[in-house]
């Protein structure tokens, strides 16, 4: 662009100069033409004057020599001078060469004539008219004066011709100059055009070069020299299109380094950078030169390999990469160990577009990482579907909690002796706007895994606190607390805050914990149980017998109650189950802990349990989990009679 600008400037300056020169020339030549025309006029005039003066001179000479009249003699005298001066004038007007030729040619004749005229004049003046006439009529005077007259005529003719020629030349030059100017203008235009277009071409070329350079920079990773994310996408699109057209398969390998962050943290970013460079080098060694490889993120790399027959499979390539990356990297004395996990997605089996393939390779990588280190995983569509479903469910749950779609149902826990309600277990139900009433098996696991279990529990407890107002005061509320919630240091405080706000005494609350809640951090679990009890609540060990069933928990932690799992109650007519239930009841009695049997459905089961010494029971036999509004009969019954409830098993659910 700078070149083009310079070309324009030069051409403009040249044109300006040229125009100035042309103007000056035009002025000058107009003046020269005017002068030449004027001289032409003068030459004409001088020629005429000379001619007339010569004739007058002849006449005056004749008349003076015939009459001797003084007037004519003086006139002759004056005319001689006048002719001389006019000849001089004509010679001055004539071109130099012509004037010189004239002078040399007429010199002797002119001198002779001048002499003869002088003596004739003398004769005339002295009255010797005869000798003057003889002189004038003499052959010599006649010859010389004719010759002079001819020479004079030639002189004036030559002057005229020269002046005319000069005029013509000037005119011609003027035409030439005009033509030249037009030509020059055309030429300047052409030059300007060429320069400009050449400048533009050059600029375009430079631009293109810069573009290519920028593109190269924009599509490659400066540290490792591999493609970067943008470069990868571009090349992948092209390769997928080609493979698709040729009916070939391809595989996208997402490679993630293990322990890279700790290398960075421990040895600094410079070592981190060197590790990345070494990783790039090792990747190249594992791949064919044509295989696509890119740095996708901080310590994430992507490799695209063809699934063409003859080449080793993508799985084997991935294994090779994992093996290579596991070898320690040596920098002088420093040895750094990293590793790599790889997720693989296949084209076209798993996906058709670059974005989808990358996403699926990433999903497979996630699974590889979850499985441990140095693993290779292929994408699994079913798992992806489950994940998507889970994600959707999570989203719906979030909204459902906020919109009050989760409601507490209540199931009675009764004393086996008198069959009176001692407590209501709060069990969660989801009134899903599309799927209807959902039981916890559809969502509790997701709630626990996604951190939604705490807000869910608190929302339910708030709702239950409103329902408790209708409970007889001797009914307690059992609530389930998930293992994850034990780790929340705020748990006890938050539970207390909710019941206090509702005006429910904490002593009306029974907290059910499963064994899983105890195993991770026994000390923490013990502290929580203590805190709950100190706040006035009771604590029940739920689902006993299904988990670790470590008797040490029972000894270590001071539970108020143990719930015998449904699975033993179901099968209590079998001797093995009966033995286990018997042992649990015996153990509880010796520890001074109350027992509840769960899932009691038949009268037979209830009788067996009562005989074994189990104090409480819960199950369809005594009532299914039900919404608060369906409790009214129970409430009335309890308030009026506190009568046994054996035959009152509710059927609502
Ligand atoms: P769980 O704590 O063992 O609750 C007892 C489960 O047994 C309930 O299932 C109840 O409906 C069912 N059940 C009671 N009697 C019988 C019976 O006679 N026969 C049969 N077949 N089943 C009976 P539900 O309501 O589906 O709850 C399942 C599990 O979900 C609960 O087991 C509990 O672990 C969990 N859960 C329910 N609500 C909550 C909650 O609010 N928070 C937490 N963390 N977990 C909850
Ligand atoms: Ca429970
Ligand atoms: Ca249970």
Segments of 434-484 assigned E as strands: 436-438, 476-480
Please tell me the predicted confidence (pLDDT) of residue 447.
96
Average pLDDT for 222-238 = 92
In a domain, 224, yes or no: no
Alpha-carbon 609 to chain mean position: 72
In a domain, 433, yes or no: yes
Q: Which helix (H) or strand (E) holds 602?
A: none
In a domain, 538, yes or no: yes
What single-letter DSSP state applies at residue 7?
H
- What is the Cα–Cα distance from 344 to 326, expressed in whole angstroms? 19
The closest of 418, 346, 332 to 378, measured between CA atoms, is: 346
Ligand 1 contact via 625 beta carbon (within 6 Å): yes
Ligand 1 contact via 620 beta carbon (within 6 Å): yes
Q: Is the same domain home to 471 and 595?
A: yes
Please tell me the predicted confidence (pLDDT) of residue 457.
98
State pLDDT tens for residues 165-196: 887 888 888 788 778 778 877 887 787 788 77
Handedness of CA 564, 566, 572, 575 (dihedral sign): negative
**Cα torsion through 192, 193, 199, 203, rounded to 10:** 140
Residue 650 has pLDDT above 60, yes or no: no
For 47, the token pair is 């020629």
Residue 51 has pLDDT above 80, yes or no: no
Q: Is the same domain home to 93 and 196?
A: yes
* pLDDT band with cut points at 50, 70 and 90 for residue 641: low
Alpha-carbon 239 to chain mean position: 22
Region of 472 please: left (phi>0), alpha (psi -120 to 50) or beta: beta
By alpha-carbon position, which residue is closest to atom 35 of ligand 1? 440
Ligand 1 contact via 619 beta carbon (within 6 Å): yes
Region of 68 please: left (phi>0), alpha (psi -120 to 50) or beta: left
Which-ligand-closest: CA of 599? 1
Radius of gyration of the chain (CA): 64
Q: Is the same domain home to 235 and 203?
A: no
Half-sphere exposure of 344 (CA within 13 A, CB side): 23
Please tell me the predicted confidence (pLDDT) of residue 653.
41
Q: Is the same domain home to 589 and 622?
A: yes
Neighbours of 395 (CB within 10 A): 11
Query: Between 18 and 461, whose confidence is greater?
Result: 461
Residue 479 has pLDDT above 90, yes or no: yes
CATH number at residue 525: 3.20.20.450
* pLDDT band with cut points at 50, 70 and 90 for residue 647: very low
Please tell me the predicted confidence (pLDDT) of residue 116.
84
To the nearest whole percent, how much of the chain has pLDDT over 70? 96
What single-letter DSSP state applies at residue 535?
T
Please tell me the predicted confidence (pLDDT) of residue 649.
43
Please tell me the predicted confidence (pLDDT) of residue 160.
78
For 114, the token pair is 């001048």
> CB neighbours of 71 closer than 8 A, spacing ≥ 6?
none
In a domain, 266, yes or no: yes
- Domains in the chain: how many in total? 3
Q: Is the same domain home to 23 and 162?
A: yes
Is the distance from CB of 279 to CB of 387 less than 8 angstroms? no
Is the distance from CB of 265 to CB of 256 less than 8 angstroms? no
For 614, the token pair is 């189990």
Q: How far is the CA of 539 from the centre of ligand 3 (A)?
A: 13
Nearest atom of ligand 1 to the alpha carbon of 481: 44
Please tell me the predicted confidence (pLDDT) of residue 249.
93
The closest of 14, 7, 10 to 197, measured between CA atoms, is: 7
Q: Whose structure tokens read 């179901």?
A: 570
Q: Which residues surround ligand 3, an ion (CB under 5 A)?
A: 542-543, 598
Enclosing domain of residue 631: 392-640
- What is the Cα–Cα distance from 390 to 303, expressed in whole angstroms? 29
Q: How far is the CA of 573 from the centre of ligand 2 (A)?
A: 23
Which-ligand-closest: CA of 486? 1
User: Which of 145-149, 312-316, 459-463, 499-503 has the lowest average pLDDT?
Assistant: 145-149
Average pLDDT for 427-447 = 97
Q: Is the same domain home to 252 and 399?
A: no
The closest of 323, 370, 325, 324 to 343, measured between CA atoms, is: 370
Please tell me the predicted confidence (pLDDT) of residue 113.
82
Please tell me the predicted confidence (pLDDT) of residue 644.
43
Average pLDDT for 116-144 = 83
Domain boundary among the residues 332, 351, 379 is at 379
Alpha-carbon 288 to chain mean position: 31
In a domain, 651, yes or no: no
Domain boundary among the residues 334, 356, 379 is at 379
Residue 4 has pLDDT above 70, yes or no: no
Ligand 1 contact via 596 beta carbon (within 6 Å): no
Q: Is the same domain home to 21 and 80?
A: yes
The closest of 452, 541, 454 to 493, measured between CA atoms, is: 454
The closest of 428, 483, 436, 415 to 458, measured between CA atoms, is: 428
Ligand 1 contact via 599 beta carbon (within 6 Å): yes
Q: How far is the CA of 427 from the centre of ligand 1 (A)?
A: 6
Q: Is the same domain home to 245 and 112?
A: no
Please tell me the predicted confidence (pLDDT) of residue 317.
93
Q: Is the same domain home to 396 and 475?
A: yes
In a domain, 649, yes or no: no
Angle at 265 (CA atoms; ends 262, 270), nearest 5 degrees:
110
By alpha-carbon position, which residue is closest to atom 37 of ligand 1? 427
How much is the mean pLDDT over the chain?
87
Which residue among 414, 427, 483 is best mutated to probe the pocket of ligand 1, counting the most ligand atoms within 8 A of its Cβ? Answer: 427
Query: Between 206 and 328, whose confidence is greater?
Result: 328
pTM surpassing 0.85? no
- What is the Cα–Cα distance from 333 to 597, expressed in whole angstroms? 66
Q: What is the 3-state secondary structure (H, E, C) of 607-650?
A: HHHHHHCCCEEECCCCCCCEEHHHHHHHHHHHHHCCCCCHHHCC
Residue 49 has pLDDT above 80, yes or no: no
Give the chain's count of helices (H) and strands (E): 22, 17
- What is the Cα–Cα distance from 167 to 465, expressed in whole angstroms? 126
Residue 652 has pLDDT above 50, yes or no: no
Bridge-based pairing state of the strands 376-378 and 339-347: parallel
User: Which of 105-109, 303-307, 370-374, 405-409 has the lowest average pLDDT?
Assistant: 105-109
In a domain, 404, yes or no: yes
The closest of 546, 622, 607, 536 to 580, measured between CA atoms, is: 546
Q: Is the same domain home to 255 and 353?
A: yes
Is the distance from CB of 419 to CB of 615 less than 8 angstroms? no
Domain boundary among the residues 218, 238, 254 is at 218
> CB neighbours of 4 closer than 8 A, spacing ≥ 6?
195, 196, 198, 199, 200, 202, 203
CATH number at residue 371: 3.30.70.270
Please tell me the predicted confidence (pLDDT) of residue 455.
97
Average pLDDT for 539-565 = 86
Please tell me the predicted confidence (pLDDT) of residue 1.
61
State pLDDT tens for residues 569-623: 999 999 999 999 999 999 999 999 999 999 999 999 999 999 999 999 999 999 9
Q: Is the same domain home to 185 and 331?
A: no
Q: Is the same domain home to 16 and 151?
A: yes
Please tell me the predicted confidence (pLDDT) of residue 145.
79
Nearest atom of ligand 1 to the alpha carbon of 625: 11
In a domain, 647, yes or no: no
Q: Whose structure tokens read 């989760």?
A: 406
Residue 648 has pLDDT above 60, yes or no: no
Please tell me the predicted confidence (pLDDT) of residue 643.
43
């Amino acid at each position: 662009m700078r070149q083009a600008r310079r070309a324009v400037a030069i051409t403009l300056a040249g044109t300006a100069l040229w125009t100035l020169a042309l103007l000056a020339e035009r002025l000058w030549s107009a003046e020269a033409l005017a002068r030449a025309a004027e001289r032409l006029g003068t030459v004409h005039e001088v020629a005429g004057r000379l001619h007339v003066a010569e004739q007058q001179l002849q006449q005056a000479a004749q008349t003076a020599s015939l009459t001797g009249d003084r007037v004519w003699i003086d006139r002759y005298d004056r005319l001689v001078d006048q002719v001389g001066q006019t000849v001089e004038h004509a010679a001055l007007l004539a071109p130099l060469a012509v004037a010189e030729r004239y002078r040399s040619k007429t010199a002797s004749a002119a001198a002779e004539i001048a002499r003869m005229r002088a003596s004739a004049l003398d004769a005339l003046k002295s009255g010797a008219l005869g000798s003057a006439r003889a002189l004038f009529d003499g052959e010599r005077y006649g010859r010389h004066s004719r010759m002079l007259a001819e020479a004079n005529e030639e002189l004036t003719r030559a002057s005229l011709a020269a002046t005319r020629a000069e005029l013509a030349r000037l005119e011609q030059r003027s035409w030439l100059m005009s033509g030249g100017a037009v030509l020059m203008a055309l030429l300047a235009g052409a030059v300007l055009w060429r320069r400009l277009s050449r400048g533009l071409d050059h600029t375009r070329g430079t631009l293109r070069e810069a573009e290519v350079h920028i593109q190269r920079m924009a599509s490659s990773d400066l540290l490792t020299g591999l493609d970067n994310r943008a470069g990868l996408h571009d090349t992948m699109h092209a390769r997928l299109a080609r493979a698709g057209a040729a009916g070939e398969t391809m595989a996208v390998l997402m490679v993630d380094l293990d322990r890279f962050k700790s290398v960075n943290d421990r040895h600094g970013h410079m070592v981190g950078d060197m590790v990345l460079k070494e990783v790039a080098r090792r990747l190249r060694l594992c791949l064919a030169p044509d295989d696509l490889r890119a740095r996708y993120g901080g310590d994430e790399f992507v490799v695209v390999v063809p699934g063409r027959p003859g080449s080793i499979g993508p799985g084997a390539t991935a294994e090779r990469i994992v093996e290579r990356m596991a070898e320690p990297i040596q920098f002088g004395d420093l040895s750094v160990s990293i590793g790599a996990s790889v997720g693989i997605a296949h084209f076209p089996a798993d996906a058709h577009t670059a974005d989808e393939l990358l996403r699926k390779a990433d999903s497979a990588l996630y699974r590889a990482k979850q499985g441990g280190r140095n693993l290779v995983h292929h994408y699994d569509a079913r798992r992806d579907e489950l994940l998507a479903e889970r994600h959707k469910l999570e989203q719906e749950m979030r909204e459902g909690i906020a919109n009050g779609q989760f409601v507490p149902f209540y199931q009675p826990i009764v004393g086996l002796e008198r069959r009176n309600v001692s407590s209501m277990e709060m069990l969660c139900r989801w009134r899903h706007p599309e799927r209807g009433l959902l039981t916890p098996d559809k969502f509790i696991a997701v709630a626990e895994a996604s951190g939604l279990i705490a807000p869910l529990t608190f929302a339910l407890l708030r709702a239950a606190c409103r329902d408790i107002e209708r409970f007889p005061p001797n009914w307690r509320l059992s609530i389930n607390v998930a293992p994850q919630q034990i780790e929340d240091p705020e748990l006890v405080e938050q539970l207390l805050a909710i019941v206090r706000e509702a005006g429910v005494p904490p002593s009306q609350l029974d907290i059910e914990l499963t064994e899983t809640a105890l195993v991770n951090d026994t000390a923490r679990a013990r502290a929580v149980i203590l805190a709950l009890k100190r706040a006035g609540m009771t604590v029940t060990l739920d689902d006993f017998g299904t988990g670790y069933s470590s008797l040490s928990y029972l000894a270590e932690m001071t539970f108020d109650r143990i719930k015998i799992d449904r699975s033993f109650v179901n099968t209590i007519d079998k001797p093995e189950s009966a033995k286990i239930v018997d042992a649990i009841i015996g153990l509880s009695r010796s520890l001074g802990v109350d027992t509840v049997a769960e899932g009691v459905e038949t009268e037979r089961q209830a009788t067996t349990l009562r005989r074994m010494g189990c104090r409480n029971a819960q199950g369809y036999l005594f009532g299914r989990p039900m919404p608060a509004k369906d409790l009214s009969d129970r409430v009335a019954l309890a308030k009026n009679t506190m009568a046994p409830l054996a035959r009152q098993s509710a059927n609502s659910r």
